[in-house]
Structures are given as C-alpha cells and as structure tokens.
Structure 1
C-alpha cells in the first residue's frame, strides 16, 4: 500500500502573515503589487514541491479602525488573484493556484468562465476558494444597502456552486472534433444549456469555453462555522481551517468528514488543511529570537486593530494593554467562527490585551509554531498521524524569507521521515492532491466506465 503523504499549500500574504512583516528586513515592502516578488514565491514553493499556492482576497479594503492604524498597514494594496495566477502559471510547471472568489459579491456565469479560463491557461492547475465574505464593510462597493446575514449568504453559496459546476459541464470532454478535412469543428449535440432556475439565480448557459482540463477546478472552502462545515461537506475538496491545539483540530476533522455521507461523498474526497505559521531557527534560541524581533515591530494601534473584529462594539483605545480583555460569557451574536476560536483562546490562556494581539499578529488565530525544523516537523507529523490534518496550509510570517527557510529546512526533514513527496506525481492539481477528475453530468455512463 502506498504511504499516505502530507499535502502542503503555501498561503501567501504579500509581505508575510505577521501583521508587522512589511517592516522586517526579510520582507519585500511593496509586495502586494510586485509581480517579481510573486514569481519568486511561486517558484520557491514549486521547488519545495508544494501542491498549491493560495492568496486570500476580499472585494474591498480589509482594514477597519482609526487613521493611525490604517497608516501603518501593509495590506491595503494587492493584486486580484485570478489575474495574478494566470501570469504565474506561465513561469511554473507543476504547482496549483487557489484563488478566492465570493459567492456573495460575484456572478456565477462570469466566475465559471474566469476559472475555466485559468484552468486552461495553467493546463489544469486551478482551484477556487469558495467564500461568502464575512466582512460587512464591502456591500457599498456593489450598491447594496447592507451586508447579507450569514444564513442568506450560505444559502446563496450552495446554489452558486452548483450553478458554476453545471456551467463547467457545458461542453462534454470530447465535444471538439476540430477535423479540418471534414470542416467539422465540434459536435453541437455535446453542448448543453444549463437552464437553471433557482431561488437565487436564473442562468441559461451554456458557457462559452470548453470543459476545463481538470473537469472542474478544485473546489476549496475556508469556513469553520456550522454553515461553513455543511458547505464544505457538500461541495469542497479541500478545506482551510484554523486551530491552535491538536484536540480542537481532531474534533473539527472528525466533524466535517462525518457530514459527508449525507451528500453521497466519502471522507477521502475532502482534504482538511489547517493553517500553520512556522517561525524557524537552526536552534530553538534562534527561532525564539526571530519571533521576539517580529513582535517588537507591532505598533499598539495596529495590535488593537487586530482585535477590533472580535470586539466590534467596544472602544479598544480605552483598554489597558497589560490587563485582560473583557471576556464575553458567550461570543456576541453575529460574530464569525474565527472570533469564537479567538475568544476561547483568550479565556484559556488568560492573555492580557497585549499578549492577545501579539499572539494574533502572527497569523490571526492560526497555529504559530516556533522552533527548529525537527521540532516543527514533529508537530506536523503528530497532527497528521492522529486524525487532525491531511496536510497544512503553510503561512510564512515574513516573505520571502520564511518560505525560503521552510523549503530549505523543514521540507527535507519531512522527506527524510517519508511524510512528503520527493517529486510531483501528476500534471494537474487534482492528480497531485490525489483527487479524482469529476465526470461530466452529461457524459454517457457506459463510455465513462469503459
């Protein structure tokens, strides 16, 4: 039997995941709009044999807060991801590209066309990170009076994904004959209009681009709420998630995979990839010194702004930085799943305000691991072998420095343990992730079985 291998994604946040990374000498300060920087990162991740690279995205500014904290942000200018990945696919050969796109603020026909195009341009290496957009400060960019509530957003998302998948099947795989001798370009009998009429969408189709090389680009999801877990169980092939302990990660892993059977799916059809932000030193002392250096770069106004989404109705400027934050008996209504994790963390660790924002500054509540390559590999192996993860979304704190360190120091350690590949297995992202290519809904069942 082939040994199960870790799956690795590189989660790229321009200058790095640490909130003060842009100030660090190991970062590229103008990274958000520096194509050469992204070329370097994609090629480094491919050198490390990563499955995929991923950038988070929002249809508006992420920042909320006062002018002082805004002036100190390094994340206010950044590329649209599908455009970026189309460019980077031309300077790489194997690595996959995960682009975020919102089911709340995009159109299913245009999105289906955009991702099908990316899959063709990259020769089968595209993935769509399905988000409903939790930020409630972007609705004005789209002429809406208010941000839809979570239940409405997720109901729309379920239908949105099904419409997109249906559009990707517009042409059957063998529809294009392109026979110059007969003059027949394609078989019109193998082109299908979707004719979808639902609660949220009415989409006729067909799509005006042939079926993607992967059949469907890989579907990724990142929600950990009840609605998010249901959407992942029904539709996702990989899920990004955030936990800070193995026990929490195990519970999530079991929960989300246990929901799949009611949708006619098997647990192995969904890869669970928690985030990990590794601070790497050749010795433990060096790693801790690197972490302390980063933490010292956090301005208090920026640190408090990191906390604002979790206490949206409080004036954080009045808080004593060296006293505990006001812990809610229960997370306030409307707070998203990430906020629940953060509030529980604050309670459990009895953090002061300063300690809490310093912890979150590294990776916004994801798992931060500070140590040597062997220590980091030990913890990744522990989660992987004990039902907490199928792999990890690696979140380098400083870019490009931290990604270089992970590829040069941690990847060889994982390979020595037989946990990670030494060469790419396939040509497409699906093949490298071990995911099956979906058959077209219009394909002849007998032909598919042959």
Structure 2
C-alpha cells in the first residue's frame, strides 16, 4: 500500500511538472536551441501516457465497452491519416500531424488514469493561470521592440491586431496558445472542487479570466469562454425549482439587452468588433477542399497536410501547403477526409452520450460535455484542437469526465451492486 501511494505521489509530481513545462515551453525554446528542450514535451508525454495505459490495462479499464469504442475510433483516425500521407510518401508531415493533433488526443486516457489514481488538475491550473497572466503583464510593460530584441518573432510569437493592439504570447509562445490556455485553466479553477465553497475566489477568477481574455483580443477564445458560462448558467437555472427558475429566466431575458448594450459600448472603441479577419477567413475557406467523391475527399491529404503541422514543416524548409485553415472542421476534412471527420464526430458524440448518463449529478461529466460543445463552436474560427497545450488540458479534462461516469472503475464493489443506479444517473464519488 505504501509503495502504491509513493508511486501515485511520483506520478502526480511528474504530471505537475510536465503540464507546467508545456505552459512555458515557448519561452524555453526561445532561450535555447537544445534538442532535448524542444522534443522533451513529446518524450515525457509519451512516457506518462505509457504509464497511464499500463495502469488502465492492469485495472482492466481499457476492456470496458465505452473505452474500447474510443480506442477503436482513435486508431481509425490514425489509419485514415496514414493512408492520406502514404499517397505522397510524406512521413515527416504525418509525424508532425500525429504529434500536434493525435498525441494530445491520447490525453483522454491520461485523464481516465488520473481519476483512477485520484489526481486532479486543480493545483497545476492555479500555478499556470497565475504564471501566464504575470508573463503577459510583464510583456505588455516591455513593449514590442523589447520583445523582438529578446528573440520573439514578429508575426509568429508576437502579432498585431488591426495595427494598434499587440497580441502577446506570455510564456506559452504564441498569442492563441496563451489565450486558450488562460481560458481553460480559468474555467477549470472556477469549477474545481478545491474552490467549491469559496464563491468569492471563484468570482475573482471568473472576472480575471474575462478581463485578460478581452485584453488578449483572441475572439475565438472569448467565444469558448462565453459559451461555457452560458451553458453553466443555463444548467444552474434548469436545476432550480419551477417558480425560482421562471423568475430567474425573466430577469435574465430582461437583462440580456442591457448587458449587450453595455458590452458593445465597452468594445466599440476597441478592435474587437472588427470583421476584417473573419472576412479574410471567408475569402479562402474552401479553396483547397476536395470533392467527397474523390480519394482525397474520402481519406484526405494526410495528417499534418494543413494547419499547424503544415506551417511547421514549411518553416523546416520541407514541401508543404503552409495553410493555416482557421477552421477545425475544414482542417480535419482536408487532413483525414470525410471518413476521418465522421470518426472525429463519432468520438465527440460517444463521449457526450456517455457523459450524459450522470450529467445532472456529476460535475466532471458536465464539464466534459460543455468543453466539447464549446470546442466545436469556437473551432469554426480557428484550429482549436491544434492549439498547444490547450488541447492537452482539454482532452485530459474530457477523459476525467468519461472516467467519472463509469462507477465500476471507481468503486468496483459498489458498481457491481448498483449498475442500474449508475445508468439512471446516480453518481458514487
């Protein structure tokens, strides 16, 4: 028993340091060109995943029907992506596509193992949240010239938004990486068990997240945050008694126009209401889309053919489309075709369907469902599942939601006696 506890503490420490490392990865690679630093996050993630899979296998969790379906679907994506790459024998692109999109997706199993080992994201989310905000404030005070002189690349690490507002990378390395990581760590904190009884701190974190997301001017991250808050608020109201629910709905309906007016006045003088970037996206969306009746339309051009992986391979001097897409659904279609995109949607549907069993009483399952909904909505404007380390935090949180709904994996002796209760929505924790 003592050895098991010691192993769990070691796993918790390694995981904490690893997630912290992913959050400052951009800053570390800026200061050194060391190969170990650059490839370290994939190596450690692979080791942590291997340990998690070993634990799940030894506990016979991977043999559960719901988990087997997820494993099968992820393997299907890898095979379909490989078929697309095999046409041009572009194995380097496949490796980068696997690293950027599929490897973080395997964080699902890490999240499942974390729940099994009673490990959560609360403390690391708090440290990362404070750290990246502090880094952003420091960079804001330094200004563009100082950042470029320090080694940050303009147009990649530091960007201008409508020529008068800087988008800063914090320690994460890119502005979108910072904004989405801020968004998800803020949400994880305000919904964590650690702060469950500390409403004032939850409110402070909520307001702080919103303020710094607005300052970051990354509107796709703002869409994710606002939609999550809306879903949580609606869920809270729906759980109340009828009279209270109708009263609150009336107040909300009357308040929405006023809040919109105040918000529009707040952002009217800023560049957040600009539609130039959206118009630019609309101008090129669909340019590279193949007919679904062709081979490329069915299985795609291969993992990494477009999106973040293609930008990276282009920087390495390799033949690449160098096309960002800025739409996750189109990015999937171009990489893994119609078949692969359907498999991705099947994974999301299966997770939501599984989590809905204990949706009303299980906070982890609820967060998993809302995260997936918000991901696909904000993904209409950016390749959200390629934003690192946001995608890793996301899949870990979703994996924790999957594990929580399977009572047999958490308390076998209770689960065997109460299968019917679990299916009806009762959670044992």
TM-score (ref. length: structure 1) = 0.28
Decide which structure has greater strand share: 1
TM-score (ref. length: structure 2) = 0.29
